[in-house]
Amino acid sequence: MHSSLAFEFIGVTMKALFVFVVWIVAMPAKLLFGQVPRMRAVALMLEAHPELRNNASPHGDIFEFGVFTGGGLRAWVDEFAKRAIKFGQLWGFDSFKGMPDVDPNTSDPEEQRIRQRGHREVAPGQLNAMQRFREEVASVSSLDDLHRELRRIIGHPWDRTHFISGFYNESLPRLPPEMLRRMKPAFLVDFDGDWYSSTIGPWEFLLANCLVVPGSFVYYDDLQECGLGSGCGEGRAHAEVTARHHIKWERHDWRDPRRNNRSGLPIVFRVLSLRPAPGCRRRLVLQ
């Protein structure tokens, strides 16, 4: 009787262990799907700046606007680690409740189209990380659980990985001054909020707080629909801040070997110079 109970216990434990191992292996693979553009972006950065490797002190912080389930941040962490590129802290911004409502008065043609088509392609509340984690990971039922799970997935030291929850128009103006003081100028900014309104707000926040400086890299994840010069989306935000803040860029386009090395995506930008916001002169150095 005792031994059959013991066998049953071992059987259940083994099954639970198996499910756990499968999940541990499958979850990161699922999250990393679609990260090829970031891998290429790191290759572009290194091709242009081999001196980035083996730096003695970290290059600066990484800021990502649009974390979702952490696949993008994990890709940066993995790719930089493989190439011995050290950076400081990670700052991930997301509502963790999905996309916002489209402002009915939006001036962005793509957002107007999304509204007119009744949000068929992308709807408010879509890409809801909390919901996705609840479906995939039984232990996630609060924002704290979600952040813990993200830290585990992303794999950067926990005390240097920070999340700011909320829609950008609400969360960014309310950041406590001590948190702003801990943010170091960007080694890299990753804009992955898909829309113009989800890019321009974060851009202005970074510039007003002296967090983009000569040497900062900038990556946009969604230039496929609204590219540079399209007048919509991330491409429009890029053009506006470039003009408004007199930013001069170094630009690196991915060359597709299967298409006669035609330039394509991703494009990685690096700030050469900019007109700093008032009060920023002192902080305008990377590191």
Q: Which tokens sit at 41? A: 């972006």
Q: Using CA of residue 136, residue 139, residue 140, residue 141, what is the dihedral sign?
A: positive
Shorter beta-carbon distance to ligand SAM: residue 63 or 269 = 63
- Give long-range contacts, CB 8 A cutoff, 24+ apart: 226-234: 226/110, 226/196, 228/267, 231/109, 232/108, 232/109, 232/110, 232/111, 232/196, 233/108, 233/110, 233/194, 233/195, 233/196, 233/199, 234/191, 234/194, 234/195, 234/196, 234/199
φ/ψ of 191, rounded to 5, equals: -95, 115
Shorter beta-carbon distance to ligand SAM: residue 145 or 250 = 145
Shorter beta-carbon distance to ligand SAM: residue 69 or 89 = 69
- Which of the stretches 11-19, 187-195, 240-248, 279-287 binds ligand SAM when contact is defined by CB under 6 A? 187-195
Using only C-alpha atoms, the chain has a radius of gyration, in whole angstroms, of 21
Instruction: Please report how close the Cβ of residue 4 comes to ligand SAM at its closest, in angstroms.
Output: 47
Among 91, 133, 167, 254, binds ligand SAM (CB under 6 A): 167
DSSP letters, 188-237, are EEEE-S-SSHHHHHHHHHHHHTT---TT-EEEES-TTTS-TTSSSHHHHH
What's the rounded Cα separation, in Å, for the pair 220 and 235? Answer: 8
- Considering the rule CB under 6 A, would residue 191 count as an interface residue with ligand SAM? no
- Which of the stretches 18-26, 65-73, 155-163, 257-265 binds ligand SAM when contact is defined by CB under 6 A? 65-73
- Considering the rule CB under 6 A, would residue 98 count as an interface residue with ligand SAM? yes
Among 42, 90, 127, 146, binds ligand SAM (CB under 6 A): 127
Instruction: Please report how close the Cβ of residue 9 comes to ligand SAM at its closest, in angstroms.
Output: 39
Among 42, 52, 161, 198, binds ligand SAM (CB under 6 A): 198
Shorter beta-carbon distance to ligand SAM: residue 92 or 276 = 92
Residues 77-96 that bind ligand SAM (CB under 6 A): 94-95
Q: What contacts 171, CB < 8 A, 6 or more positions away?
A: 93, 164, 165
Shorter beta-carbon distance to ligand SAM: residue 69 or 209 = 69
Among 88, 185, 193, 235, binds ligand SAM (CB under 6 A): 193
**How many residues bind to ligand SAM according to rule CB under 6 A?**
19
Shorter beta-carbon distance to ligand SAM: residue 127 or 212 = 127
What's the rounded Cα separation, in Å, for the pair 207 and 280? Answer: 9
- Considering the rule CB under 6 A, would residue 203 count as an interface residue with ligand SAM? no
Among 41, 45, 114, 129, binds ligand SAM (CB under 6 A): 129
Residue 85 in contact with residue 59, Cβ under 8 Å?
yes
Binding site for ligand SAM (CB under 6 A): 66-69, 71-72, 94-95, 98-100, 127, 129, 167-168, 192-194, 198
